[in-house]
Amino acid sequence: MTPIDSTSSCLAPLGPLLNRPLNIGGRLLAKRLVFAPMTFLGHVAFRELLSGFGGYGLLFSEMCSAKTVPSENRFVSRYFRWRDEELPFLACQVVGSEPERMADAAQRIEAEGFFGVDVNFGCSTGAICRQSCGAAVLRDPDLAERIVHHIRRAVRIPLTVKFRTGWQDDPAAAVQMGRRFEDAGADAVTFHPRVAPDRRARAPKWEYIGRIKQALGIPVFGNGNVFDADGCLRMLRQTGCDGVALGRIAIARPWIFAEWCDGFKPGPDIFEKTAKQLLNLTARHFEEKAAVRRFRKFIFYFAANFRFGHTLYTQMQNSAGLNELQETLDAFFATPPELTSAPNMNYFQ
Ligand SMILES: Cc1cc2nc3c(=O)[nH]c(=O)nc-3n(C[C@H](O)[C@H](O)[C@H](O)COP(=O)(O)O)c2cc1C
């Protein structure tokens, strides 16, 4: 990745591949590049920032608990919040392990007007798996299928599933799981080809995405370690997947969708402008303590862009309030920071 990627020769073939409509359960996405669900990062303020750049086909919310979604107040909820304008392009991700509760949550999501409902069978953090949710559900394929089936019966909006290889490195079992999701009524899947205990330490096995794609009739989004235009093109060509879901690189470079799909050319001040805009938006959407925590989490990934990103990261962790965060940004950008040629992976774990 060159410091500012817009000169990449891969952009010419990539644009036409990504700018093709894709039918998900009867609704058309204009573009095949989507924003993956990212808890504590892909919140309402970050998504407002993304919407200013555009270029994506669909956004996914942070994961929302099926236990709370049916009765939550969107204006005070931690995760279940949105701007009405984004609903046509926003799928709400739900996490849980009880088919009835998942279906109830999906009904609320449908009633609120979201594009669709996305089921989280990918999260492998201890906190989620200890509650038998997220990737833990994949240990019980019958239950996973039943959840999708219950949701399908409860709602008409597009139903998507995000899942991993599973708990064993067994691509045949992953293919089988994908087929069962399709048979249970899923309209598309996002597949992250890593086994569940493997957080992000080892490279994802993209060839498994190809196997899922070959076996399923519904659209398949590939996900995992796409960090530049060349990587995106390779994933599309090697796996034949229908679209690509971007996670961490979209946090580090929120204009990436516009760059790859719309020919947006970021200027040298893009990093400073973007960070400051996100700080303002986060302060507008959340009370101070919550805003500070979210902005610091963003900085962890954003710092990967800079040769001395650790300076920014450390100063941010020591900044207590929004004013201090603003001053730290001002100081960091007072001298144009040196960019890395590719995101520093120490920040991407
Ligand atoms: C901090 C963080 C939070 C995440 N939160 C979620 C989540 O809520 N739901 C989900 O399905 N995946 C979640 N993921 C996984 C991402 O959606 C994605 O699968 C993963 O980052 C790999 O894609 P990438 O290499 O493009 O980042 C999260 C990942 C990170 C790093």
Q: What is the pTM of this model?
A: 0.96
Same domain, 79 and 107: yes
Instruction: Select from 1, 38, 226, 248 the residue to mutate for testing ligand 1; criterion: most ligand atoms less than 8 Å from CB.
Output: 38
Residue the block writes with tokens 């794609």: 213
CA of 331 to the centre of ligand 1 (A): 30
Which of 240, 262, 284 is the last residue before a domain boundary?
262
CATH of the domain at 67: 3.20.20.70
Residue-wise pLDDT for 280-313, tens only, equals: 999 999 999 999 999 999 999 999 999 999 999 9
* Strand-pair partners of 90: 59
- CA dist., res. 277 & res. 271, Å (int): 10
* Beta pairing, strands 27-29 & 22-24: antiparallel
Share of the chain above pLDDT 70, in %: 97
230 with 274, same domain? no
Asked whether residue 125 falls in the same domain as residue 214, the answer is yes
Q: Are residues 114 and 255 in the same domain?
A: yes
Report which of 260, 264, 218, 226 is spatially closest to residue 242, judged by C-alpha positions: 218
Check whether residue 125 and residue 212 sit in a common domain: yes
Lookup result for tokens 């040629």: 341
Helices 229-239 and 11-18, interaxial angle, to 10°?
60
In this structure, the answer to whether residues 141 and 185 fall within a common structural domain is yes
Residue 130 burial (10 A CB sphere; 0-12, 13-18, 19+): exposed
> Measured in whole angstroms, how far is the alpha carbon of residue 263 from the centre of its chain?
21
How do residues 52-105 score in pLDDT, each as one tens digit? 999 999 999 999 999 999 999 999 999 999 999 999 999 999 999 999 999 999
Token pair of 144 as six digits: 């996973």
Give the tens place of pLDDT for each residue, 224-265: 999 999 999 999 999 999 999 999 999 999 999 999 999 999
Q: Supply the range of the domain harboring residue 280.
A: 270-347
Same domain as 139, residue 235: yes
Please tell me whether residues 185 and 67 are part of one structural domain. Answer: yes
Best residue among 34, 39, 92, 119 to mutate for probing ligand 1's pocket (most ligand atoms within 8 Å of CB) is 39
In this structure, are 284 and 168 located in the same domain?
Answer: no
pLDDT at residue 198 greater than cutoff 90 = no
Q: Any idea which residue has 């034949």 for tokens?
A: 240
**CA nearest ligand 1 atom 12, residue:** 37
60 plus 192 within the same structural domain: yes
Where does the pLDDT of residue 44 fall: very low under 50, low under 70, confident under 90, or very high at 90 and above?
A: very high
Query: Are 210 and 308 within one domain?
Result: no
Residue that terminates a domain, selected from 262, 285, 318: 262
Q: Where does a domain end: 219, 246, 262?
A: 262
Q: How many domains does the chain have?
A: 2
Spatial contact of 328 and 319, defined as CB atoms under 8 Å apart: yes
Check whether residue 217 and residue 285 sit in a common domain.
no
In angstroms, rounded to a whole number, what is the distance separating the alpha carbons of residues 65 and 175? 27
